[in-house]
Amino acid sequence: MKFKVCGLFDKENILNVMDLHPDYIGHIFWEKSVRYIKGDTPQINNCKKTGVFYNSNYDFICDKIEHHKLKCIQLHGDESPELCQKLLNLKIEVIKSFRIDQNFDFEILNDYVNKCDLFLFDSKSQLPGGTGKTFDWKLLKKYKLDKEFFISGGIGLDSISALNRLVDMKLPLYGIDVNSKFEDEFNLKVIEDLIKFKEIIDNEI
């Protein structure tokens, strides 16, 4: 089970999270986010540094890939299959996110299945990312594709039982993406809580 920590923007906090050896870390390149990464990011060698974008254009994304030496990009808006393919052609890992609620049409995913490496399923909200809310994972019973995906949205230390039930659904679950449920009042990640969570998922999920 892969482990992704998203929404990192403070250099010291980033380095402390890196000591936990997550598989992915996420930096948000959307200016309206409270977790927007404004400056440079430290060089990372032992995990996939991921840039999270929301309806950004191709040139902007390419600039961030080069400047921050990104190994992966996460498209968290309404990006087209054509843009996904164009970025995939850069030989960088592409994660396409979808925000799920009871009205989500899973048929949409067919247009993207060959245009990205992974899906990510998050909670539907007015604004993307870090809502602290979990969608009804039972909706994923409608997911019939073989494409692996990250699960995201409101995952915290109290989510272990639900994650085990999700695993029992025998879906192509690739990894767990965490964000706001592991933050203090300054939107910095609480390392002690991440340590507890990672130990649990490594041993129990």
Q: What is the mean pLDDT of residues 176-196?
A: 97
Domain tally for the chain? 1
CATH number at residue 55: 3.20.20.70
pLDDT value of position 127: 60
Whole-model pTM: value is: 0.95
78 by Cβ neighbours in 10 Å (0-12 / 13-18 / 19+) ranks as: exposed
- Give the model's confidence band at 205: pLDDT under 50 very low, under 70 low, under 90 confident, else very high: confident
128 burial via Cβ count (<10 Å: 0-12, 13-18, 19+): buried
Q: What is the pLDDT of residue 46?
A: 86
Model confidence pLDDT, tens digit, residues 68-105:
999 999 999 999 999 999 999 999 999 999 999 999 99
Per the CB < 8 A criterion, the answer to whether 22 and 200 are in contact is no
> Given this model, what pLDDT does residue 54 score?
96
Q: How confident is the model at residue 45 (pLDDT cuts 50, 70, 90)?
A: confident
Residue with token string 């539907």: 124
pLDDT at residue 8, rounded to an integer: 97
Structural domain boundaries enclosing 91? 2-204
Residues 12, 142: Cα–Cα separation, whole Å: 41
* The pLDDT value given to residue 37: 94
